[in-house]
Amino acid sequence: MVTTKLPHPPWREQPQLLRRGFVDPSMMLDELSARYGPIFGLGTGPFRLAVVGDPTALREMFSMPVDSFRWGYRFNVLRFVVGDQSMIVSDGEPHKRRRASVKSAFGRRSLNGWIPMIVGQTDVVVDELAMMTDADRSPIDLYRVGRRLVLYIVVRTLFGERFAGRAAEISELYQRPQDYIEAPLTRQLPHPFPWTARARVRADRHALDGLIDEQIAFLRANPSDDPRDVLARLVTDGDLSDSEIRDQVVTLIGAGFDTTSASLAWMIWRVSLTPGLWGRLRDEADDVFGPIEQHTTPDERSLAGLTLANATMRETTRLHPAGVVSPREAASDIELGGHHIPKGTLILWSAHLAGRDSGAWDEPLKFQPDRFSHLTGPQQQLANSAWIPFGRGQRNCLGLALAQMELTLIISRLAQRLDISTSATGIPRPAGMVINRPAGGAPMNVSIRPTRRRSGPDLNLQST
């Protein structure tokens, strides 16, 4: 097959385009893919980029041998925050070993065991909202509320109950590193100087390591056979060193917390702006969970019954994937979609472009969760290639089952127990280069559907 070079914008336009891309990557991708198609190049020499958003080319890419690509490339800025031994910046045998250990600690059966906790913690949040005055709730930023809830859930699934009480402390230690990796690359250049943003991020990581070490020491002294405690499984059953465990834990919390809460915020926006959808989600929740007053314990059958909530999650992450682009470096010369991509090119594959591809989706810019319930055979195949918010293949998202389960259960329970509305008439613009979240959060007017109060740990929402 004849391969061609990647089309690219004129060199003189590129510095300006890259600058704009750091402020609003989705807008830059939409504009450039309209001009050059869903695969195009940017930059030159050691700073060569290939943006790939064509679903067919992406299917090719995800089925290539995993060693055709590198994640531990020199400029991977995540390394500074997650550590050199994190699976997310590792390749080859070390990646395989680290991923396999975490994966086995994350078995699907153990995840289903978390369903009651996720619904229960959502109830705790609703109960806290109920205790606020109407004025405090109108409006309230449900992005920040959801962020605390998701962090609590992620920490609890990783560390068990004993550590979840420290979620607020962990959240603070993550804030600076998250802000730092969103900063322009010029501000992230390595240096040893104290009293700088980089030094403060290093100190936060050090403090986080201290918390994790405490937990590792506790588990060594008090072994646990709880199949739902991911950290206990890593410490007791795995073959990772303590420093490897630390880097995986920091990665799992980091990868699982901002991504999921950003998706929840987009979901709240989309549902609040789609007439009738909140009511349909509420009806489904009433059917599946039963009346709140009955306190039934939800399980995997409840999750399977939430088909509209699941479709809403899929439709939201199609239009607003948490990663607008995800990077990997070509480890050798490769061909993608009929284009030659030289070794060393940084490939930015885009779930955002694939999710809006007009060949794969009818009316791609319309938010229609029901599209997922009546896809015909060929449409289903196209949708399979083009719905990739969690990646595909051997490096796909390790937390995809947890994230999808959280988003489905949380939106459903919120719809069952809250009324929300917004005076906004349109979806906000996206913010964030690494994590795509709605600019300005998700301020909503919130009122409570009357129910009896439940008890549980205080998430301290008044401080959000």
Under the rule (CB under 6 A), what is the footprint of ligand HEM?
87-88, 99, 154, 251-252, 255-256, 259-260, 263, 321-323, 326, 328, 389-391, 395-399, 402-403
- At its nearest, how many Å lie between ligand HEM and the CB of residue 309? 14
For residue 430, is the peptide bond before it cis, meaning its omega torsion is within 30 degrees of 0? no
How many CA atoms, within 13 angstroms, populate the side-chain half-sphere of residue 365?
2
Nearest Cα neighbor of 264 from 402, 426, 143, 439 is 143
For the bound state, the minimum distance from the C-beta of residue 54 to ligand HEM, rounded and expressed in Å, comes to 16
Nearer to ligand HEM, 395 or 417 (CB): 395
- Using DSSP's 3-state secondary structure scheme, residue 28 falls into helix
Q: Which is nearer to ligand HEM, 125 or 403 (CB)?
A: 403
Q: Which residues are registered as beta bridge partners of 11?
A: none
CB closer to ligand HEM out of 115 and 255: 255
Indicate the SS3 state at residue 438. Answer: strand
Q: What's the CA gap between 259 and 322, in Å, rounded?
A: 5
Cβ(442)–Cβ(410) below 8 Å: no
Tell the smallest beta-carbon distance from residue 87 to ligand HEM (Å): 5
Q: Are 263 and 225 spatial neighbours (Cβ–Cβ below 8 Å)?
A: no
DSSP state of 335: E
CB of 158 vs ligand HEM, minimal distance in Å: 7
As measured in angstroms, the least distance from the Cβ of 140 to ligand HEM is 22
Asked if 426 contacts 420 with a C-beta cutoff of 8 angstroms, the reply is no
Residue 69 CB, nearest distance to ligand HEM (Å)?
A: 9
Judged by beta carbon, residue 149 or residue 292, the one nearer ligand HEM is 149
Closer to ligand HEM by Cβ: residue 355 or 391: 391
Backbone phi, psi, residue 327, to 5°: -95, 150
Closest residue to ligand HEM, judged by C-beta, is 399
Residue listed under structure tokens 């369903």: 115
Q: Smaller CB distance to ligand HEM: residue 226 or 458?
A: 226
The smaller minimum CB distance to ligand HEM, of residues 263 and 310, is found at: 263
Q: Which of 28, 6, 117, 92 is nearest to 346 (CA)?
A: 6
Q: Could you tell me the sign of the dihedral formed by the alpha carbons of 375, 380, 386, 390, in that order? A: positive
Output the smallest distance, CB 287 to ligand HEM, in A: 25
